Amino acid sequence: MSIPKLRLEWIEAGSLDENPHNWRRHSPEQLQSIRDLLSDPDVGWAGACLYNERTKRLIDGHARKTVADPKTPVPVLVGDWSEEAEKKILATLDPVGAMAQGDAEAYAALVESVQAESLWVRDLIHNTQASLVAAGDDGDEEPAPEQSSVLAQMECQPFEHHDYIMLLFRNEQDFQQACERLAIQRVQITYPGGKTKIGLGRCIDGMKAITTLTGGQA
């Protein structure tokens, strides 16, 4: 019996038809995290959609297709399966991946050197780490500390360490000019339940700031 072969193609996102049997539902938080990762110059498309050319439908990658510009060519693994095989892949692809158990210590070591500028990606890492720790807690340890009144997303995360320099501006004009030069924008994020994080995004990568201010001579 021959095994279906795969080939990689770049196809406009808007031309990929979604699968009516897709059972996965993507929250606004997940879509924003994916959007930020795809636009991250260090990450981008670190994976591909999965497409069945026989049925002309996506099997995997619906969320990535949703957030991509319809005219943007995206990486797609193209295969040829019967409709029955397509349904089997849909029913098993994610559950098989979910069977893997996470190691909290290994994940903590991994993310210790990860720099995530996106608030959504930072929250994703934080929540994943918290879930792994909770899953490894057998209940015999000492009681958990009281819940903080601070949003978890606002707390300094275990893998973070920040040294900083503060710039003082003596007038609004200089401050606005600095914001424009450094591409600092206002941030507003609403979490489930209505909690909102709002303010001016003043934290930027130091080397990017130096490169910008020196015209690339850093």
Q: Provide the residue range defining the domain that includes 108.
A: 101-136+149-161
For residue 190, being part of any structural domain is answered with yes
For residue 1, being part of any structural domain is answered with no
Mean pLDDT of the chain: 81
Closest CA relative to residue 201, chosen from 92, 119, 133, 128: 119
Note the pLDDT tens digit of each residue in 153-204: 555 555 555 566 777 788 888 888 888 888 777 666 665 556 666 555 566 6
Note the pLDDT tens digit of each residue in 38-57: 999 889 999 999 999 999 99
Residues 61 and 39 both lie in one domain: yes
Contacts from 196-200 at CB under 8 Å and sequence distance 24+? 197/119, 197/151, 197/153, 197/154
> Using alpha carbons only, how large is the chain's radius of gyration in Å?
22
**CATH at 26:** 3.90.1530
Given this model, what pLDDT does residue 179 score? 81
Given this model, what pLDDT does residue 216 score? 67
Give the global pTM.
0.61
Note the pLDDT tens digit of each residue in 115-149: 887 877 888 888 888 888 888 765 555 555 555 55
Residue pair 50/14 in contact (Cβ under 8 Å)? The answer is: no
SS3 content of the chain, % helix, strand, coil (to 5): 40, 15, 45
User: Rounded distance, CA 54 to CA 67, Å?
Assistant: 25
Highest mean pLDDT among 94-103, 110-119, 156-165, 205-214: 94-103
For residue 12, being part of any structural domain is answered with yes
